[in-house]
Chains A and B, each alone.
Chain A
Amino acid sequence: NAGVTQTPKFQVLKTGQSMTLQCAQDMNHEYMSWYRQDPGMGLRLIHYSVGAGITDQGEVPNGYNVSRSTTEDFPLRLLSAAPSQTSVYFCASSYASRGGTEAFFGQGTRLTVV
């Protein structure tokens, strides 16, 4: 019962470095998304995907890239890390892009950019 698996759980980056946050789900969900959580701002949508080969931007996409080559994986790439990207990142997945199906979340990645 893996559900949604995010790695790593913690990461410290230097300004300008790049890295990839990994997200994998084993529930055959079509829809996957990335959020960042900042104090007082809730969860804000970065990017999402409604299926393999299809991605789109959310509220705060700048500085991040995604791709969806398989149904299971949806990595988030930070191109050149900035202190403003210090946050907790969550990956989520669900069965359909629309509807009342529950979104399942990973455990989150706490990222600090120094």
Chain B
Amino acid sequence: AQTVTQSQPEMSVQEAETVTLSCTYDTSESDYYLFWYKQPPSRQMILVIRQEAYKQQNATENRFSVNFQKAAKSFSLKISDSQLGDAAMYFCAYRSWDDMRFGAGTRLTVKP
């Protein structure tokens, strides 16, 4: 079964600085998708960014970008110019065929 590992239970960043959240996964599939979801205190799950495994180019969405290393099975999220509104739980997720697996999450604190 596919597994997703987030090794940083908590991270902290100063407002306007850059932070990187780590994620590794294990799979034998060659075709799959990776996601980062944000969960603010409201509990709502919000898609931040997605990456197709067949694409070599790293995905970017405004201040959010990923570093996708397929051979290393690594998928980190970089948040630039951190804002107070970025404070949340962040989940890395893997999807192939019929199930979507999540990591344990990283709680990000943004200090003013």
Separation of A104 and B101 alpha carbons in the complex (Å): 14
Separation of A31 and B9 alpha carbons in the complex (Å): 30
B91 touches which one: A42, A59, A88, A98 (CB < 8 A)?
Answer: A42
Tell whether, in the assembled complex, residue B99 and residue A45 are in contact, meaning their CB atoms are under 8 Å apart.
yes
A99 to chain B, nearest CB (A): 7
A34 to chain B, nearest CB (A): 12
A40 at the interface (CB under 8 A from B): yes
Given A42-B91, A59-B1, A100-B33: A90 and B98 interface contact (C-beta under 8 Å): no
B102 at the interface (CB under 8 A from A): yes
A50 at the interface (CB under 8 A from B): yes
Tell whether, in the assembled complex, residue A48 and residue B104 are in contact, meaning their CB atoms are under 8 Å apart.
no
Which residues on A sit within 8 Å (CB–CB) of B27? none
Number of interface residues, chain A, beta carbon within 8 A: 26
A2 at the interface (CB under 8 A from B): no
Q: In residues 63-114 of chain A, which contact B (Cβ within 8 Å)?
A: 88, 90, 92, 97-100, 102-103, 105, 107-108
Closest to B52 in A: A100
| Binary CB contact string for chain B from 42 to 60 against chain A (1 if under 8 A, 0 otherwise) | 0111010010100000000
A3 to chain B, nearest CB (A): 10
Which residues on A sit within 8 Å (CB–CB) of B35? 102-103
Across the A-B interface, the 8 shortest Cβ-Cβ residue pairs: A105-B45, A43-B102, A100-B33, A42-B102, A42-B104, A108-B43, A97-B98, A102-B47
23 A–B pairs (Cβ distance < 8 Å), ordered by A: A31-B98, A33-B99, A42-B91, A42-B103, A42-B105, A43-B102, A56-B98, A59-B101, A88-B43, A92-B45, A92-B100, A98-B96, A98-B97, A98-B98, A100-B50, A100-B95, A102-B35, A102-B47, A103-B95, A103-B100, A107-B43, A107-B44, A108-B44
